[in-house]
Amino acid sequence: MNNEDALRKNFYDAIEGVAKEHNINPYISKYDFLPNDVKSVIIHKNTVIVNLHNGCKGISKCSCKDEFDVYMGFTIAYYKAKNSKSFKLKQVLDDCLQSAIKKGYDKAILKNYW
């Protein structure tokens, strides 16, 4: 074992020791950057499924006309899982599109004013 390997082993041993002292599992989550309420994320072909700890599920599917983007798929599926009972966003977006069509705009622009 060279110096670098010994140093790395000592570092991990120190982390495990501190974690045991405080009753913390140092390997709680492999993906600690995900929101805390996400239980699992499944990516299959052009579909992303997000399961939350409370049992809610969100699914996003990519249209055959679009290019599949995992990040956008996760964002949509997560939003659907969190707001599965609320259709407010869909209603706001539909109203925005209808307004743009009435005014003859080629695109709809939605701004959030706080």
pLDDT in tens, 83-97: 866 667 777 778 888
Q: Are residues 73 and 37 in the same domain?
A: yes
Distance of CA 71 to the CA centre of its chain: 7
Q: How many domains does the chain have?
A: 3
* CA 60/CA 78 separation, integer angstroms: 9
Q: Are residues 2 and 38 in the same domain?
A: no
- 41's CB contacts (< 8 A; 6+ apart) are 34, 48, 49, 50, 51, 74, 77
68 pLDDT tier (thresholds 50, 70, 90): confident
- Residue 42 belongs to domain spanning: 32-82
Q: Are residues 38 and 16 in the same domain?
A: no
Q: Are residues 71 and 44 in the same domain?
A: yes
Stated pTM of the model: 0.53
Q: Are residues 10 and 23 in the same domain?
A: yes
Per-residue pLDDT tens for 13-51?
A: 766 776 677 666 655 555 566 788 888 899 988 999 999
